[in-house]
Amino acid sequence: MEKRKIIEIKDVWKIYQLDAVEYPALRGANLDVYRGEFLAIMGASGSGKSTMLNSVGALDVPTKGQVLLEGIDISTLDESELSQVRGRKIGFVFQAFNLINSLSALENVMLPMTFQNIQRSIKIEKATRLLNLVGLGDRLNNTPGELSGGERQRVAIARSLANDPEVILADEPTGNLDSKTGKEILELLKRLQKEQGKTLIMVTHDLNIAKQADRIAQLSDGKVIKISNKI
């Protein structure tokens, strides 16, 4: 069966202006991502990994080049259109969890659905189901401060699935966790990728994690210098 591209990064540059100095975080990066695959992105600090992830996630607009999501150039969309892409097509999992401390686990997972005009009873039902999916069915009403690091990351994963996105972007999702918990989170993300057909793109410094991906993209100085099927 022919692999279908879901994301195409074409000659993408991202240049940040720091006072009078221009800093190019991406320098003509090119990368294709295929539907349903687990792609790991590796590289030294400053190589452009997070900038590339943010460009794919419509959090950052390229200075030059194209980022195509299902054939649509998201680099040309206005902020309202970008918000719709982020809300419906892409789920985010961050190293620092990025949960709202004053909200319960259930409310944190419901939050992305708030902007999609979904009926409250449906939001509650879906958020409950997602928290059960990640093994937190008994922690619905706990706030992040009452949860362990691994539990908070599970809430973040459930939140990333709230609008049934096709792509999950994970930026060092195990970076703040101990090795045992990190392994459990990785297995959970891999299970979602396999069982639900999600496309998983993960930035990681950990070679052991990268080895479990379908492909590995190696970045250096803002460019993809190598793509391999495992290392």
pLDDT per position in the chain (231 positions), as tens?
568 999 999 999 999 988 889 989 999 999 999 999 999 999 999 999 999 999 988 888 899 999 999 999 988 888 888 888 888 889 999 888 999 999 999 999 999 998 777 899 999 999 999 999 999 999 999 999 999 999 999 999 999 999 999 999 999 999 888 999 999 999 999 999 999 999 999 999 888 899 999 999 999 999 999 998 864
Domain ranges of the chain: 38-47+79-228
Q: How far lies 130's CA from each of 48, 183, 201, in Å? A: 32, 20, 20
Contact between 227 and 43 under an 8 Å Cβ cutoff? The reply is: no
Quote the CA–CA distance of 172 and 184 in Å, as a whole number.
Answer: 14
Quote the CA–CA distance of 37 and 167 in Å, as a whole number.
Answer: 10
Quote the CA–CA distance of 11 and 24 in Å, as a whole number.
Answer: 13
Quote the CA–CA distance of 162 and 67 in Å, as a whole number.
Answer: 24
> Which pTM was predicted?
0.92
CATH of domain 38-47+79-228: 3.40.50.300
HSE (side-chain half, CA atoms, 13 Å) at 2: 3
